Structure 1
């Protein structure tokens, strides 16, 4: 094995992969391209890119979400340190985000904790399932994320970042439910609140829960007076707010990527000791927190090596080698949300499912193939048979305080319109999704039918999910507060079979 292959294989091991050198780095042509280059710079660039990719995705997503004058102009958007609250469930015309949930209303906020803490107030949820997932700038999820699983109470929660430059975080005193300390100044709250989908239930959330779900700057909170967020902020004239974040980040040249990364590192410090090797790799490239990264000062050979390292890193990300489907064809993520040194997995999740929950709060599974490995065809009839509860491949096992749902999306991640005016749902689940209960069999099992036309059988129609005729599609499963059997990998979704 030559020096280059040894170098890149060492890099692959550092990324916690278990694949061979050739598989980890794709086709032999990639190796042929980099054999002529200095392997140290190539490897440093690839490691630095994959290590920093989630932070860049976080930054671009936040910039797009925050570039609005108020919290009502754009769905999911809100100024910094304010909640953007979803007022209606999506339907087949919805295109703001891909794979939208039809069983939860979202309340999302990007925060900057550099100048002062922020007070989060959680209202009385009256036993309703919710999770306020809290991510740092690296997309690591805080174990203190309030929600039903933790039995989080009504009251005030203090969100505190690290000391930021000359600013030192204040001593927190007072009658707070919890003090949540984030390791980075950048923070993202993704709130999910269960709704049965009825008009009355959605109206209850809007009138009785949303008004009490608030964010207040520490300085305003200490004044003891009601705080109203500004609603006439100016937007930034620069920056693309239309192109999806993943396309923007993937289109960045090396100089732009590492220049932006150096700036973001100042507010989002790496984890000491854990990330030391990645930080050293970036430093050898000239990428240092808070300092400009100027490609014009680099020698041509080093710049060329950096460009080749970027190609290598993108090739690695495109192979999705850190995730593999189950034997029934579903890809189920059980080890996301907290990553440590698993930089490749973290980058893959940021690329494909930015904002993933920890498995103890939610497990997602998806497939685009049937049980034989063939691509799903919207013109064909399929069935998913969930056995009775308590069995592997049975009814998804989740807490009685939570729920599960199965949704069908077209190949672009949009909900599929129903050809039947009497069917207004895009998902089936338990206890209820989109104001529609599932219809189990007499033995407790459940059959869900995937087909383009309305079933003639009444029970089949109750469990029918329309599919897009003549095209492929995505089956997406959500399990909130899954039982331990799911977390241990002893339960997997059943294969999709022909009907």
Structure 2
């Protein structure tokens, strides 16, 4: 016992001496004296670091909500109000900035709020699919063919959080919401190349407050084909202003209360305007820049389990989160950031990893030598025969800076199986990504831009088993002369 006590006393003496030595000098560059911060400057430096770390984490946590808030603000800048719709009536092009927009389908989107009461979405009897997400980009319901109406049309009644008013007993599909701010998107199905019919059916959709049901105002439609709308959540004070707007428009969820506590010291607090002082502005800008850099790493080099599509290939699954964004014992904050930093919208069908109706997305950011894809270089991608997509497939290039469509001269940064592509004797297709078209392969070429990085998406519509069982594989993008 005596020996044990002696050793214990010696260990305590050594530890106390080491701790005193540290506290007498510095920790993380801050001076200490007898365990106290040495001076007022040391205290302030530590608080500045604390708040910057919190701003960085808040940026990554809030990205899905600020992304949808940015879609609303971008639409509002073009004169669209709640319920008005942006419609890609002649397919989308790269004039506007949307995260991983799609150029191969006809679609429309709109924003609505439950802040002033219930809202109705009147869906026509038509061939389209759609979804409604809150601003955390969690699915409330599918609509159209994939929704409860099964494409036969219905009126959806969206109930605000804590609502105690009238709820109709019949004639509506009732959906309870937990947030006020929502976005919905519909995608028209083009039959026999009749784009006009798909657009006309989509324009029959109506969005209006339940209080105006007797005489709803007509919704406006703005063509995305001709517009130049910026919906990106840009890094800067604008990002935090939009986060403040979202917080003030919506109830705080229990899971997010710790983040709300952190934001108070950054000038963002529910019920108060966003008016940061000079110190807070500096920290918010630094935090957003670092958070954005971390978000890029999360997207372009994911460390999330299950990201790899095929062993030994660079292709990654684009969707790695669950529709409710919840793991077994945690919230899927990294999985959520990975998807929503590069894309928008979520529905249960998008998260299914198997054959059937819907679509699957895979992406790559590097060439066969594991170098980032560079718009100044020339590349070839061979699409093997018998692509496992029952409906059709497409390849789209996105700007690695904006994660939006590559803004090339043609404004068409995609090809699909609908196009008249040059096909090899074995049924495969060679695609080229380069500043200039290779002779004889102009139809198989997507223009890239020097000094601009890009990445590649494969979309498989109604994927079949070959995409999942390894019987069909894409090679890596190969750099060529």
| TM-score in terms of structure 1 length | 0.66
Deviation per CA, 1:234-289, whole angstroms, max 9, x where unpaired?
A: xxxxxxx9765422xx2108xx82x66455324322333x3343344345767543
SS in 2 for 1:322: helix
* Counterparts of residues 184-195 of structure 1 (less than 5 Å): 184-195=179-190
Partner of residue 174 from structure 2, selected from 163, 169, 179: 179
Counterpart position of 2:197: 204
Partner of residue 37 from structure 1, selected from 46, 71, 77: 46
SS in 1 for 2:130: strand
Contact residue 99 and residue 409 of structure 1 kept, 8 A: yes
* Counterparts of residues 97-246 of structure 1 (less than 5 Å): 97=98, 100-126=101-127, 130-142=128-140, 144-149=141-146, 152-163=150-161, 168-176=164-172, 178-195=173-190, 198=193, 201-207=194-200, 209-221=201-213, 223=214, 227-229=216-218, 245-246=232-233
Give the distance between the partners of 2:134 and 2:166, measured in 1 at CA.
Answer: 20
Residue 91 of structure 1: CA displacement? 5.1
Residue 406 of structure 1: CA displacement? 0.9
Give the distance between the partners of 2:190 and 2:396, measured in 1 at CA.
Answer: 15
Partner of residue 405 from structure 1, selected from 385, 390, 394: 394
Residue 215 of structure 1: CA displacement? 1.8
Give the distance between the partners of 2:120 and 2:191, measured in 1 at CA.
Answer: 29
* Counterparts of residues 10-89 of structure 1 (less than 5 Å): 36-38=45-47, 40-69=50-79, 78-89=80-91
Counterpart position of 2:252: 270
Q: Check 1:490–1:261 CA distance in 2 against 1; reply closer, same or farther (3 A cut).
A: farther
Pairwise CA RMSD: 4.3
Deviation per CA, 1:96-138, whole angstroms, max 9, x where unpaired?
A: 6575422112211010122232222333334xxx431322122
Counterpart position of 1:13: none
Give the distance between the partners of 2:220 and 2:146, measured in 1 at CA.
Answer: 33
Partner of residue 321 from structure 1, selected from 297, 301, 306: 297
Counterpart position of 2:437: 453
Counterpart position of 1:238: none
Greater radius of gyration (CA): 2
Partner of residue 339 from structure 1, selected from 321, 325, 332: 325
Counterpart position of 1:73: none
Q: Check 1:91–1:169 CA distance in 2 against 1; reply closer, same or farther (3 A cut).
A: same
Contact residue 263 and residue 290 of structure 1 kept, 8 A: no
SS in 1 for 2:137: coil
Contact residue 186 and residue 202 of structure 2 kept, 8 A: no
Q: Check 1:98–1:184 CA distance in 2 against 1; reply closer, same or farther (3 A cut).
A: closer
Counterpart position of 1:495: 476
Farther-moved stretch of structure 1 (465-474 vs 133-142): 465-474
Contact residue 120 and residue 213 of structure 1 kept, 8 A: yes
Partner of residue 373 from structure 1, selected from 355, 367, 370: 370
Structure 1, gaps ≥5 residues long: 4-32, 70-77, 233-240, 390-394, 419-423
SS in 1 for 2:90: coil
Deviation per CA, 1:68-99, whole angstroms, max 9, x where unpaired?
A: 44xxxxxxxx321222322212457x346575
Q: Check 1:493–1:213 CA distance in 2 against 1; reply closer, same or farther (3 A cut).
A: farther
Deviation per CA, 1:176-222, whole angstroms, max 9, x where unpaired?
A: 3x333332110011222244794xx1122233x1342222331233x
Contact residue 90 and residue 100 of structure 1 kept, 8 A: yes
The aligned length equals 406
SS in 1 for 2:246: helix
Q: Check 1:415–1:101 CA distance in 2 against 1; reply closer, same or farther (3 A cut).
A: farther
Deviation per CA, 1:159-180, whole angstroms, max 9, x where unpaired?
A: 414336xx6353232133x333
Give the distance between the partners of 2:399 and 2:61, measured in 1 at CA.
Answer: 32
Contact residue 64 and residue 136 of structure 2 kept, 8 A: yes
1:465 partnered with 2:465: no
SS in 2 for 1:414: coil
Give the distance between the partners of 1:271 and 1:488, measured in 2 at CA.
Answer: 40
Structure with the largest fraction of strand: 2
Residue 497 of structure 1: CA displacement? 2.4
Counterpart position of 1:281: 262
Counterpart position of 2:39: none
Partner of residue 359 from structure 1, selected from 326, 332, 351: 351
Give the distance between the partners of 2:378 and 2:283, measured in 1 at CA.
Answer: 46
Give the distance between the partners of 1:262 and 1:99, measured in 2 at CA.
Answer: 25
Structure 2, gaps ≥5 residues long: 1-17, 20-41, 222-227, 303-307, 353-357
